[in-house]
Amino acid sequence: MSKRDSNRLRIFAGRHSKSLASRVCEHLSIPLGDAKTHVFPDGEFMVKVEEDVRGRDCFVILSTCEPVNDNLVELLVFLDCLRRASARRVTVVTPYYGYGRQDRKDEGRVPITAKLVANLIAATRCSRVVAIDLHAAQIQGFFDLPMDHLSATPVFLNFFEANRELTRDLCVLSPDVGNVKVAEKMANLLGGDLAIINKRRLSGSEVVTQNLIGTVEGKTVLLYDDMISTAGTVCEAAALCMQRGAKRVIAAATHGVLCGPAIDRLVRSPIERLIVTDTIPRRESWAALGDRLTVLSVAGLLGDAINNIHHNKSVSALFRVTAGSKR
């Protein structure tokens, strides 16, 4: 990137996304923007940008992960700060989009919070939103402004290409019916078979796997999904696969939410390898997984997308080979 371009482009980060943002800036060979978030004793936030952004192209990297509400409010305050500082264009980069699972009314008297959050972001008058592997593709339509939906598929494909021993006798398993198309595309890309789990959700943290469609006997099973939250689904599915004669089970997901009982469940599960990306920052509790955990970086993917947006180039051209997204 030329010196003139680097002077016009500024990338900032929320408190919990600075590690990823620093890697993105390293990929682009530019410094991370200078800004500070101050938390008042009563819990209110104030963001101060410590450099001139007038007329510049600004990007804010901030995943709305745990603590979800704090990160969401910090993002909104950040966007308002940059707009009032006369930035020419402000782009939201939220690698993990919180509240994405509340994307429709599946029963009476419930909110569509994914749309509400999209409205809140749009109300800041930002110019664009960038996210990676939304829980449902329809969320793109919730934004009344340009939205770039990136796929982490290239990051996983590069990893499996470099670790071909993990894909011998492969069977890609969809942990639910809604993810079948994604699992099928990944199976085609990696040259494996396809299997499907039929599950029934009892609550937000409990699921029951009732049936397995397909053959996993003697196979390396890859459980592939957009996120792992409480890990109930993947752990139940892994246990069922081992009962059906699978050689080993690997789990991969873009977003390692890993909340509640997730770590304990994963430690006790037969899952041999867990692969996630750094859309959500690593937490101390993850250490319990030891070398079973692999964290891939999406910094290069985000950096290339930011570079193309900054230069008004196509973003979709970066993702000609993807596994798609749910629904």
Q: Which residues are catalytic?
A: 199
- CA geometry: angle at 288 spanning 286 and 289, to 5°? 75
Query: By the 8 A CB rule, do 74 and 90 touch?
Result: no
Residue 66 region, left (φ>0) first, then alpha (ψ -120 to 50), else beta? beta
Query: By the 8 A CB rule, do 73 and 45 touch?
Result: yes
> For residue 212, how many other CB atoms are within 10 A of its CB?
19
| Pick from 198, 228, 225, 222: nearest CA to 324 | 225
Q: Which tokens in the block code for residue 20?
A: 């990823």
Cα separation of 274 and 290, whole Å? 10
| Pick from 221, 213, 278: nearest CA to 246 | 221
Q: DSSP string covering 308-326, please?
A: HHHTT--SGGG-SS-----
Cα separation of 234 and 194, whole Å? 16
Cα separation of the two ends of the chain:
37
* Residue found under tokens 């196509």: 314
Cα separation of 13 and 3, whole Å? 21
Q: Which tokens in the block code for residue 99?
A: 């509240």
Cα separation of 96 and 226, whole Å? 10
Cα separation of 212 and 312, whole Å? 46
